[in-house]
Amino acid sequence: MSTTITPLHAFIDALPKVELHVHLVGSASVATVLELARRHPGGPVPTDERELRGFYTFRDFPHFAEVYEAVSSLVRTPDDVATLVLGTARDLAAQNVRYAEITVTPYTHHRAGMAMPAVTEALDRAVEEARERHGVRIAYIFDIPGEFGTEGAAATTEHALRHPPRALVGFGLAGIEQVRPPYRDDFRAAFRAAREAGLRSLPHAGEMTGPETIWEVIEGLGAERIGHGISCVQDPRLVAHLRETRIPLEVCPTSNVCTGQVASLADHPLPRMLEEGLFVTLNTDDPPMFGTTLNGEYRAAAEAFGLGRAELTALARNAVIASSLDGAGKQAVLDEIDALPAA
């Protein structure tokens, strides 16, 4: 990707944005991970910056999952959790991000020995400090790590229902799609309970598996928004359904390349998804691990797919509309976006 600052790049940098698909641990900058690795030495994560950047070179998605788990193991105290949120808010503020929904996997924190109320207190404190220090509104999505099946679903549901952070807005399902049991009653029961409690159904699907996984989360989990969903283009009936229902898709192009889901940006289905009239948003997933930023994703889309101001503005508006902001919050960001071309 070019490093030359063009007028379009300047427009992207100034564009008010919303980030819908970013994982808490995966959002940690190299500096933050080094701090945690040195704070909790003796693990598999390098404490040297050069070695850490090499550590972030992934062979495939399972290898990425191993690296992600290793970094997760460094998050051992509630203060570590709050540090991650505040670091993410700082990085997002520098990109004119007004609001972000951060995906938290509380089960990993439980396994590290943190009590649910302590994790919630840290998340609540971080929301307040993120807005005071950086002017960014933060909300949370709690996701089930699919590989852990019943145990992961039960613990995530208990935390979401009994000790929810004040900014909890959604309930998700992530992990390696090939090994999570798609039709498990415990997943469906967890999502049913979360939805009854007022949380939105926001699972991952169709990232590393085919359209059948997307159908599963729509029909079995009542998905209101789908993480990734890029395999939808393989099924014309699914494309038609997504177009008709306007279910938003959280697309993360650089992530898909880095984890080997697509060979290159040139091979990414994003242009096809836009041509089909699908409700697409641009996101980062795990930005430092993939060497990207939200501004970088907009730049990559512009350069790889020939998107101009109008198309990029539409993507930014889509993210606002698909978000869990209240009506006034959405309108405020939309007004900022709409004012930018005339500024």
Which of 49, 31, 113 lies closest to 76 in space, CA to CA?
A: 113
Strands 204-205 and 97-104 come out as: unpaired
DSSP sequence for 142-176: EEEEGGGHHHHHHHHHHHHHHS--TTEEEEEEES-
Neighbours of 208 (CB within 10 A): 20
Type of residue at 195? R
Kindly tell me the burial class for residue 7, based on how many C-beta atoms sit within 10 Å of its own C-beta (0-12, 13-18, 19 or more): exposed
DSSP sequence for 96-127: TEEEEEEEE-HHHHHHTT--HHHHHHHHHHHH
DSSP sequence for 295-341: HHHHHHHHHHH---HHHHHHHHHHHHHHS---HHHHHHHHHHHHHGG
Q: Which residues, including other chains, have CB under 8 Å from residue 275's CB and lie 6 or more apart? A: none
Helices and strands (H and E) in the chain: how many: 17, 9
Distance CA 39, CA 47 (A): 10
Chain centroid to Cα 87, Å, comes to 15
Examine the residue annotation and report whether 207 is marked as an active-site residue of this protein: yes
Would you state the structure tokens that stand for residue 280, as one six-digit string?
A: 């697409």
Residue among 19, 177, 207, 224 flagged as catalytic: 207
Distance CA 27, CA 87 (A): 8
Catalytic center residues = 207
